[in-house]
Amino acid sequence: MNKGKVYLTGAGPGNEKLITLRGVETIAQADVLVYDRLLSKGLLRYAQKNCELIYVGKSAKEHTISQDEINKIIYEKSTQGKIVTRLKGGDPYVFGRGGEEGEYLADRGIDFEVVPGITSAIGGLAYGGIPITHRDYASSFHVITGHLKSDDENLDWTVLSKLKGTLVFLMGMGQLKEIVLKLIQNGMDGKTPAAIINWAATSMQKSVEGELENIYFKAKEKNIGSPSIIVVGNVVRLKGKLDFFEKKPLFGKKVLVTREKEKNNMLSQKIQDMGGESIEFPVIKIKETRKTKDLIFIIDRLEDYDWLVFTSQNGVKIFFKYLFKAGYDVRKLSGLKVAVIGKATGCELEKYHIKPDLMPNSFMAEDLFEKLKGHIKPSNKILIPGAKNARRYLAQELSKLCEVDELKIYETVKEEAEDYKKEIISKLSSGEIDYVTFTSSSTVNNLIEILGNKKSLLNNTKIVSIGPITTKTAVENGLSLWREAKKYNLDGMIEVMTTERGGKL
């Protein structure tokens, strides 16, 4: 029998960035990923394209699959010689059934490794503004499960009620009333500070604080359900002072990101840093054009040009990829001047140790032309490497001044989105998505095409455009814009979402 290996990996408490580096490695190495409900789906992006994804999520009221069946899945997949990553929310050994899974594998001689994760009992509390210990309030803590096996002994409430440290109950919302009553009946002061954090460390986080005697009623008033962390103890007094997460400008907001997969992370990162949740739904992808005679001809004669003009990061990246594949000596570019649209394109160029000679402060072809035209002579030759379906404004205007060649090295095409379409339509229908972001005309056109007769659902959200050209495309397609970025870049989009500056479009 060809035995593989199993990783029992903790994903941390909700926020995908709270997973460990080793945890990410085990996702990337996996042939099979067996994952739970209480973790960010954003973590799935680290999996290989051909990785088999098996969802085994469980909630208090609904178990998609039993623990015995999960044990069999990870065992059987490993016996096929596969690397299996069992990805669990929090830490696998803190009420995560990881110990049982480890035993099952050990009894059958399967090689496994445990990758610890940040338990919600600590990380979830921190995101709720509550330190689990504090020199002035608690020098110990006790983590208690709200779910016990039927043959477990009852908790000793007399002992628990007299403990001076912090009490944390996980998976206990169904028993909240009983927990409160047991603690008070066994001697704990009803005025003891208490709090509940729902969906900790996610954009859906809600919290409520009070005292032991009223926390049940306060939770009911705020409609706090599962999954939640119940915390009892004096450390709760610090919540208002230490609550950093719920004060972030995009806290509680969900933002649809429509850029290509390779670039989604840039905008997603900025959204998450501001406390929001990015929902990645790439509607475009970059397709490199095949090597043509024109391409070979131009590469062989690059030194004949006076200017290279780049209008996108993709243009820079793919152009240099072709050069390196052709074995081109980049020192030959020393006689050319380079112009770029936007800081992001300039930064991409600098990765190849070339600084742009000309870059406008704004991020439009019109502005680049205005800045460039004063440097152009009639005898000059300009090369514009770019997209097959890009705007031709720059090439058309420059060709009035000198000779211009366009080199079509890629095209923007529609991403196949059927796997996620149903989920996105559901979120738009329910009003879950607060913002939809468009970073190009292609993202507008393709999202509308993908949604089809459901396009009107975009009226349930706020649409943010990166700049005038994208805005024009959206308006022409009948969309109602909420904001256009003042600065035509990702930071500009974040700015309009985190402030209420600028007039409504």
**Of 91, 171, 173, 359, which is the active-site residue?**
171
In degrees rounded to 5, what are phi and psi of residue 103? -60, -45
Report the mean per-residue pLDDT for the chain.
91
Place of tokens 């300009």: 382
Q: Which residue has the higher pLDDT, 102 or 42?
A: 102
Same domain (yes/no): 409, 292: yes
Alpha-carbon gap, residue 381 to 360, rounded angstroms: 20
503 — pLDDT class (breaks 50, 70, 90): very low
Strands (E), 78-221: 83-88, 111-115, 141-145, 166-170, 193-198, 206-211
Residue 381: is its pLDDT beyond 50? yes
* CATH of residue 437: 3.40.50.10090
Residue 373: is its pLDDT beyond 60? yes
Give the residue from 249, 265, 281 showing the smallest Cα distance to 438.
Answer: 281
Q: Which residue has the higher pLDDT, 380 or 411?
A: 380
Alpha-carbon gap, residue 294 to 150, rounded angstroms: 74
Same domain (yes/no): 315, 374: yes
Same domain (yes/no): 375, 294: yes
Query: What pLDDT score was predicted for residue 154?
Result: 73
Same domain (yes/no): 351, 432: no
SS3 track for 42-80? HHHHHCCCCCEEEECCECCCCECCCHHHHHHHHHHHHHC
In a domain, 247, yes or no: no
Query: What pLDDT score was predicted for residue 152?
Result: 46
Residue 505: is its pLDDT beyond 50? no
Query: What pLDDT score was predicted for residue 390?
Result: 83
Chain segment 183-192, per-residue pLDDT in tens? 999 999 999 9
Query: What pLDDT score was predicted for residue 47?
Result: 95
Q: Which residue has the higher pLDDT, 40 or 167?
A: 167
Q: Helix, strand, or coil here: 399?
A: coil
Alpha-carbon gap, residue 12 to 159, rounded angstroms: 30
Respond yes or no: is residue 36 known to be catalytic.
yes
Same domain (yes/no): 148, 231: yes
Query: What pLDDT score was predicted for residue 357?
Result: 95
Query: What pLDDT score was predicted for residue 346?
Result: 93
153 — pLDDT class (breaks 50, 70, 90): low
Respond yes or no: is residue 171 known to be catalytic.
yes
**pLDDT cut 70: percent of the chain above it:** 95
Same domain (yes/no): 96, 151: no
Alpha-carbon gap, residue 391 to 441, rounded angstroms: 10
Q: In terms of residue numbers, what domain contains 300? A: 288-413
Q: Of 99, 115, 131, which residue is a domain's last?
A: 115
* CATH of residue 50: 3.40.1010.10
* CATH of residue 157: 3.30.950.10
**Of 36, 239, 359, 364, which is the active-site residue?**
36
Using omega within 30 degrees of 0 as the cis cutoff, is the peptide bond preceding 385 cis? no
Query: What pLDDT score was predicted for residue 500?
Result: 55
**Of 3, 58, 343, 414, which is the active-site residue?**
58
Q: Of 242, 270, 296, which residue is a domain's last?
A: 242
Q: Kindly state the average pLDDT of the residues 421-439.
A: 93
Residue 293: is its pLDDT beyond 80? no
Give the residue from 428, 434, 310 showing the smallest Cα distance to 363.
Answer: 310
Same domain (yes/no): 313, 367: yes
In a domain, 504, yes or no: no
Chain segment 452-491, per-residue pLDDT in tens? 999 999 988 999 999 999 999 999 999 999 999 998 889 9
Structurally, the chain folds into a number of domains equal to 4
Give the residue from 411, 433, 429 showing the smallest Cα distance to 281.
Answer: 433
337 — pLDDT class (breaks 50, 70, 90): very high
**Total residue count of the chain as it appears in this document:** 505
501 — pLDDT class (breaks 50, 70, 90): very low
Chain segment 41-99, per-residue pLDDT in tens? 889 989 998 999 999 986 655 556 899 999 999 999 999 999 999 999 999 999 989 99
Q: Which residue has the higher pLDDT, 123 or 414?
A: 123
In a domain, 248, yes or no: no
Give the residue from 80, 83, 71 showing the smallest Cα distance to 107.
Answer: 71
Query: What pLDDT score was predicted for residue 296?
Result: 82
